[in-house]
Structure 1
């Protein structure tokens, strides 16, 4: 796996951790000495602040493929084991949203590795492919959704939480969108009007509210984890860090069961109502 380019939020967090974090305040001269071990030309420019200088070094090490070396250099410069452990924890909190972590095996160097979050496996009845024979889906859509569900299960079993939530959110939004299109004569629910206009622009949180309002599902919007309802937002480190503490067995298990229940309710609840046609 290739480590992704960090966003500015993560870079600012790393700058603070290096210049003023668990190690305490580092003077500009100390930073120059620290980065000299990277083997490149990382001299501080005239009138360049500590913050700008450190941010520039982080950016350049990413472009040169030296980012892991940078983090290792900073950590290994710490003589106190407690300080080194605290700094490593801060680094990992920043890197976790990108799916990476710093680890160290006994007798080996600190290494940047893909992050795996262990959890208990869910039962087959939860992960098994739902019945996508909804009256408002085409054959091609049914095939596509089955494939996407299998992919989401594979991500779950691999311990890759972020893309798993993205996959579940995409599946649920697709089915709800198709439902809202097919029943658009009933779909302009009261609680959707303040948000968006055209049905094709509705996102998952609004579609869930519409489905509940129309009686297609019994669950409310708040029954779905924020991470799932606003899955599109989780491309930003800020959202990942905000919600990171809640990523646990209970949340993941409840999410799968809630999505499954919603798909089943949509399947059963709409089969008695014919979809909208142009002649209606």
Structure 2
């Protein structure tokens, strides 16, 4: 579990550098990898031995769970490699071997790497609220009241989840995704903040104000701006569809049978969306 033990960090540094191996990373490639993982103020490689250098970077940020998580996911992400999942799968296998003592595992969910927790039998990874979420929101979003509101919704969602109110928990996760994307898009995009959202499917080509924008358009807009990847977009739409069970008529028509596993699977795309936003946008400018 986070923070990683120092010996686990040592082993991961060796895996990532792959000294003398088929996927050996040069110094500049290590620095590039940290940038791709969305590290704030990523260090430049200083020419020192690579494994100790990377180990030092991991140690300096061992308490920054978000950046460590994003780095591990990036190492296992098909988008990082020219041959896609061929190399990514090899790294996932070795990284996961080193993560076993921590009770963690990197898996592809909806095509995106996310970190889950190993169950007691080590068979099925489990997904829950992203680690250190309130702090991560505070870095990504400048509006403190929005951070407080989103954090409160997650806390209430966890109450529903632990109490067996699985439908309401899933609705809560969808609500959180909606609030997160709405806040980030309106804060980070001057045109959206001033003029509202543009829906390319609308025949009237009119802008949609913040009060009327749908979760579907929020997801599509974030992807169109390249703030979330295609796989994250597609899986987010599944969460959106589940969120729509807030309407009793939909639940009566489809009669879903949500359980704890259903809620768990809805947390996975939240990890992917949050990782993508952090990688693409970096810390918010505080006014």
TM-score bin (small chain): 0.3 to 0.5
For the pair shown, which has the larger CA radius of gyration, 1 or 2? 1
Give me the TM-score of the superposition, normalised by structure 1.
0.46
